[in-house]
Structure 1
């Protein structure tokens, strides 16, 4: 288990309990059941206290937790007959974006998402989930395919933002993001999106301009990372805590502002503590969002999506 900085006191208690059990396993005469159980209870209480009222910055840390389920985990668990489709038919394949044809609860769909990778090798391979222009152009190609064959689109968002490298800018990064966002708003099929970790900048909006948007309880969604915001406003990335507070990037804030539609509850301690339960909860919400859009014709779906984005902020401002 990888522990975050604010979870260090919890790590000490849980590690102590494990040490006691390990010692007892090598010495049958040792009876540590009561001591270990007491530590377990203390750890559970502390875990509840830590996650009862997470600050926005701590939510950012949880959203970035390396053990959270990634896009590939959701695709493998929730979708069957997944057939990956690669390349933008223009420049290259971008491994930061995965997508293809699949079945979701036996319904044909197109699924698209950002994959960060799970170890050093795969994180480099997937560019830490930061897509280049060809990744967004691949997404546009897949959405066009879905529109042509009347297939619902499911997007899974988990990115710190679009890749800011020189080559990406030379190949039209901003234009590619804009085209992907435009395509989201144009297609005449149901489009649902789930923010499963980080929803960073235009890199997230390009996938999440959907009829229905859900967020995991401890995920974040913002125009820029807190570190980036702090660097711009205060010329000091260490002020990321203040930036996170001001940006209103948590699922709870965004629900109040009408930016998202649903918050998906995570297991106590975050998605990383019970990956299976988290994936099941996301699958249930995807089905619920798709069911809500059944029976709507193409014009109604486009109008619904347009109205959703025109109304963003009005609910929160009125309050």
Structure 2
């Protein structure tokens, strides 16, 4: 990212210092240590006062951990399940049973892909209707065996192609929202990257909804909002600010229940720490939800989403 350039300059300086150390056999460990400490301080400074657009950029960072990375780092014995039993297996949506802190849970989320070839295979994290139907099948399976559900949301939106609409994209998302409200098991939703439009809502209805620190959640991307309002993408920074899409704004609006901190500078700097922070946050929330009856969870879920928003009557 452009605003991360000062950090890159320090990393380059460390590499140059290490090369000089090898060539000259002069101990420069103190200088390298100071530079490494400067990197940490610089990362703190950079992320202290980020704009909304810069948060959007961080959420899309190519090195940012995706769903499968979090699952691998914070769970054990993950068994991926495939297919919607109707059309095909959607690679943009992944899910399966895993062990989280010794307890079996159902993990579901969008997967973008870690390189160009994988991004094409995963359709850049944009699920088709069969992806949402696959997710619903896995949720019902978890409910059958009385296992909690954790969804990790990271999508620029549901796939808007003609074939997706022909197979009922809108119905699939609406069905998921309807069914997730009524699930009898605990459901925890976490936005780990982009949370755009119905693509996010299709697996985003739960007892608790959280956002990681450098993520966004809104009805439309800043670029699309800019193109609609100003007929150009040039106003995307203004659109990002006006959409109030960052985690702190969403918490203030009452649309989410909490913000999960990330490693200094963003989750892309340390996968292990990012996954550990998420895991440490989820475990007590799951324990809290397990103490409630199924009827209580469903009732609270309906009330939670039913009272969202604020308005004036005249």
TM range, smaller chain: over 0.9
- Separation (CA, whole Å) in 1 of partners of 2:38 and 2:82: 49
1:116 Cα deviation after fit: 0.7
Contact kept? 1:143, 1:183, Cα under 8 Å: no
* Cα deviation code 1:159-185 (max 9, x no counterpart): 111111111111111111111111211
In the alignment, does 2:208 pair up with 1:212? yes
Residues 1:279 and 2:275 are matched in the alignment: yes
User: What is the TM-score when the length of structure 1 is the normalising length?
Assistant: 0.93
Structure-1 separation of matches of 2:33 and 2:294: 57
Consecutive unaligned residues in structure 1, runs of 5 or more: none
1:5 matched to 2:2? The reply is: yes
Look up the match of 1:72: 68
**Distance (whole Å) between structure 1 residues aligned to residue 276 and residue 33 of structure 2:** 29
Q: Does 1:49 align with 2:45?
A: yes
**RMSD over aligned Cα atoms:** 1.7
Partner of 1:26: 23
Q: In the TM superposition, what is the alpha-carbon distance from 1:18 to its structure 2 partner?
A: 1.7
Question: How far has the Cα of 1:87 moved from its partner?
Answer: 0.7
Question: Is the Cα contact below 8 Å between 2:40 and 2:264 reproduced in 1?
Answer: no
Query: Where does the alignment leave 5 or more consecutive residues of structure 2 unmatched?
Result: none
Counterpart contact for 1:82–1:101, Cα < 8 Å: yes
Work out the CA distance in 2 between the residues paired with 1:260 and 1:74: 20
Residues 100-133 of structure 1, C-alpha deviation per residue, up to 9 Å, x if partnerless? Answer: 1222222222111111111111111111111001
Deviates more, 1:18-27 or 1:171-180: 18-27
**Number of aligned positions between the proteins:** 312
TM-score (structure 2 length as normaliser): 0.94
For residue 50 of structure 1, report the CA deviation from its aligned partner. Answer: 1.1
> Partner residue of 1:308?
304
How far, CA to CA, are the matches of 2:158 and 2:151 in structure 1? 16
Aligned counterparts, 1:132-151, within 5 A: 132-151=128-147
